[in-house]
Amino acid sequence: MSRKSFLSFRGLSFRTALAVRNLVLLVLVLACTRIVMLAQATASSRILSPPSSYHFPEDQKFVYSVQLHMLNAGTTTILIQHSAAGEHLHSTADTSGVTNKLFPVHDTFDAEVNPTTFCTQWVTRHAEEGSRRLDRKIRLNYAAAKVLVDDFDLKTGKAKHGEFDIPGCVTDIVSGFFYASSLSLTPGQAEIFPVNDGGKTSDVKIEVEGRGKIKVPIGEFQTIRVKAEPITGPLKGKGRLWVWFTDDPKHTPVQMRSKLGFASLLFQLQRIDKSQ
């Protein structure tokens, strides 16, 4: 092979190698971009609008017993009713027995939820926990991307106002149970959604762990077990929660177990009262 032909061959090989290298780099860049996009999509926190088949369990009052380390600690109720503005949730928590003597709790919680978007509109809370007495009003202004929080200490008479940024739609700590029940809930499924309790928003991740049969005071059910854990915001690291939903289209929460530090609470469905 002549020197000229050899140089031409070398030049052609170099150009080809350069083209191949550029093509490989392009593929790698596109692949990495795709991976990042998938990761962002998987990790994105959002509220999904409920499917048309989903119906809020209106005019039903869920009554749960509460156990603290096998000790009967009290009762929690959740009532959902249709309102002019959407769906209204009313919840109570009351201690009893020894627990009531050691650390009495008598709380009420009300929330208004948009049934089309599942966005919480406002929340009011009245808390009597030990010596603490507090009224809280939470107003979610999605147009301004702000949550307005007004606290009133019933013991000291002091008022406190705060404003925090929020995303385009959030749920609250009670409505969040029913938001989860509106999802398909298939084993291995994971979702992240924003929850606001009157301050900075937390992202909560739920993971559908599996199916199983459990027995609670109201009866025996085939269930889907879901783990929920805050992964960002002020609720991060505060505990984990497991919820057993009935394995049917209603996804009724029949049992809940929470771990908050050293404390372990068990909620079991006692009965469902019909509201008049």
pLDDT tens per residue across span 148-206:
999 999 999 999 999 999 999 999 999 999 999 999 999 999 999 999 999 999 999 99
Q: Where are the domains of the chain?
A: 1-41, 60-115+170-274
9 φ, ψ to 5°? -65, -45
CATH level 3 topology of 60-115+170-274: YmcC-like fold (2.40.360)
- pLDDT above 90 coverage of the chain, percent: 75
| 27 — pLDDT class (breaks 50, 70, 90) | very low
8 A C-beta contact, residue 85 and residue 121: yes
Among candidates 227, 185, 213, 228, which has minimal Cα distance to 54?
A: 185
Please name the helix (run of DSSP H) or strand (run of DSSP E) that holds residue 235, with its range, or none: none
Mean per-residue pLDDT of the chain:
86
* Of 136, 142, 135, 145, nearest in space to 118 by CA: 142
Percent of residues in the chain assigned helix, strand, coil, to nearest 5? 20, 50, 30
In terms of C-beta density within 10 A (0-12 exposed, 13-18 middle, 19 or more buried), how is residue 228 classed?
A: buried
pLDDT band at 276 (very low <50, low <70, confident <90, very high): low
**Tens-place pLDDT, residues 32-89:** 333 333 333 335 899 999 998 999 999 999 999 999 888 899 999 999 999 988 999 9
What predicted TM-score, i.e. pTM, was given to this entire model? 0.81
Average pLDDT over residues 223-239: 92
